Amino acid sequence: MKLVLVAACALVDADRRVLIAQRPEGKQLAGLWEFPGGKVEAGERPEDALIRELHEELGITVKENCLAPLSFASHTYETFQLLMPLWICKRWEGLVIQKEHQALKWVRPNKLRDYPMPPADEPLIPPLIDLLGG
Ligand SMILES: Nc1nc2c([nH]c(=O)n2[C@@H]2O[C@H](COP(=O)(O)OP(=O)(O)OP(=O)(O)O)[C@@H](O)[C@H]2O)c(=O)[nH]1
Ligand SMILES: [Mg+2]
């Protein structure tokens, strides 16, 4: 089965809330809430892919030394195997703006389960609660 590598990020604000974004209509898993990020292109470093996606999707500029690895998701979807490292980022340049998603929301980690997320994302919630204290 095809392995798809996706780089994703939990942006964390001063109140220890995490940014989630609602996937656009017409895309796979439309309407579900996800961590910003996207597919790593051929020959691209995952960190570069993430920095690129954060700029495309949210308009922010992130430096690589402001990305810390937190966990990863591995999930078997019907047509592909997803492998998705999740970085955490507390510092960036620019204001977060909604460019490609239906909506953006800052939520405390222990409230993430109130928002329907892709099935791959569930195991990423406990490490966020551990790190950020719920
Ligand atoms: N960004 C992101 N993708 C996720 C998450 N969870 C999850 O299963 N995925 C899956 O990972 C894949 C990457 O999705 P994506 O739509 O963000 O990719 P992309 O930004 O490169 O968009 P594009 O392929 O339309 O250009 C999708 O199949 C998506 O369903 C998540 O939390 N964040
Ligand atoms: Mg994306």
Domain boundaries, the chain: 3-128
User: What is 3-128's CATH topology?
Assistant: Nucleoside Triphosphate Pyrophosphohydrolase (3.90.79)
Please choose from 20, 34, 117 the residue to mutate so as to test ligand 1's pocket, defined by most ligand atoms within 8 A of CB. Answer: 34
Q: Judge if the beta carbon of residue 79 lies within 6 A of ligand 1.
A: no
Rounded to the nearest angstrom, the distance between the alpha carbon of 42 and the centre of ligand 2 is: 16
pTM (2 d.p.): 0.97
Q: Judge if the beta carbon of residue 6 lies within 6 A of ligand 1.
A: yes
ipTM for the whole complex: 0.96
Q: Residue-wise pLDDT tens for the chain (134 aa)?
A: 999 999 999 999 999 999 999 999 999 899 999 999 999 999 999 999 999 999 999 999 999 999 999 999 999 999 999 999 999 999 999 999 999 999 999 999 999 999 999 999 999 999 999 999 98
The half-sphere exposure of 116 on its side-chain side, counting CA atoms within 13 A, is 5
Please report the pLDDT score of residue 87 as a whole number.
99
Rounded to the nearest angstrom, the distance between the alpha carbon of 38 and the centre of ligand 1 is: 5
Please report the pLDDT score of residue 134 as a whole number.
83
Please report the pLDDT score of residue 82 as a whole number.
98
Note the maximum CA span of the chain.
41
Of 30, 26, 25, residue with least CA distance to 118 = 30
Of 39, 41, 69, 37, residue with least CA distance to 54 = 37
Question: How does strand 33-34 pair with strand 18-22?
Answer: antiparallel
